[in-house]
Structures are given as C-alpha cells and as structure tokens.
Amino acid sequence: MIRLFLICALLGVSLTYPTYQQAIPNGGSVPSPCPGNRIWAGVGHINRNGGGVRNLFGLDFASSAHAWTHDLCIADSDSDGVSNGAELGDPNCVWTTGHKPEHNATGHPGICEPMDNSKCLSLNTKNNITC
C-alpha cells in the first residue's frame, strides 16, 4: 500500500510538461510565492507540480497556442501590476525558445503577489490559489 502511494505521488510530480516549461522564459525556475523558496514547476496550474486546474497564466498560455508571444509577454495574467514578461525575466519581450532570458524569474505570472497584499488575497482566493 505504501509503495502504491509513493508511486502515485512521484507520478504526480513527473506529469509536468517540460516542453511547456521550455516554451516560456525561465519556465523551469519560476519561484513559488509560498514560503519555502521552492520552484513552481507547473507554472500554468494551481497545483505547483502541474496538472489539473489551470491558473490565469495557464489559461492565457493555452489561448496563445502554448507559445511565448508578445501579447502574452506584455499581459498581466494575474493582475498584480507586473507583466508576465517582467515576472519571467523577459521584461523587454525579446526572449525566444532555446535562448537564455535576460534575467532570472522574479515572480509567478499566474499568482498575484505579494500574496499578503489585500488585493492579491482577494484575487487569489477568487481563483482558488493557496499555499
């Protein structure tokens, strides 16, 4: 029984789509806004490991045919006042697949930050975002 649980737990972690991580700047190193300094592997999802319900960035990414476009870059999917590009380390919207972004990711494009801000608390609660 314990083995089955461990296999299922590991399977959940491995279901993130690395190709999607590679389709956005710093896709494999987006910081979690939750305590613990972890990476949010499933950037487009409410679950930090990916799979399941998409967050607002995930919906926008799907609408852009799973491609990093200028419109997706300049958008502020999570309504925190910072563009997706700025949060993902591409503030000038010049990144292309396979190249190193100008900067490291500084925020999460699908979760309003800082999470303890009253506006973000309301938005994140509305969008089922929790730590």
Interior angle at CA 120, CA 57 and CA 76, nearest 5: 35
As for how many domains the chain has, the answer is: 1
Q: What is the pLDDT of residue 19?
A: 87
User: In a 10 Å sphere around its CB, with 0-12 CB exposed, 13-18 middle and 19+ buried, how is residue 116 labelled?
Assistant: exposed
Q: How confident is the model at residue 4 (pLDDT cuts 50, 70, 90)?
A: very low
Closest to 49 measured CA to CA, from 78, 17, 73: 17
- Asked, for residue 52, whether it belongs to a domain, the answer is yes
- Asked, for residue 97, whether it belongs to a domain, the answer is yes
Q: What is the pLDDT of residue 95?
A: 98
pTM, whole model, 2 decimals? 0.85
- Asked, for residue 56, whether it belongs to a domain, the answer is yes
Closest to 108 measured CA to CA, from 42, 10, 52, 62: 42
- Structural domain boundaries enclosing 119: 40-131
Q: What is the mean pLDDT of residues 99-117?
A: 96
Retrieve residue 98's tokens: 């396979």
- Asked, for residue 27, whether it belongs to a domain, the answer is no
- Chain centroid offset of residue 84 CA: 9
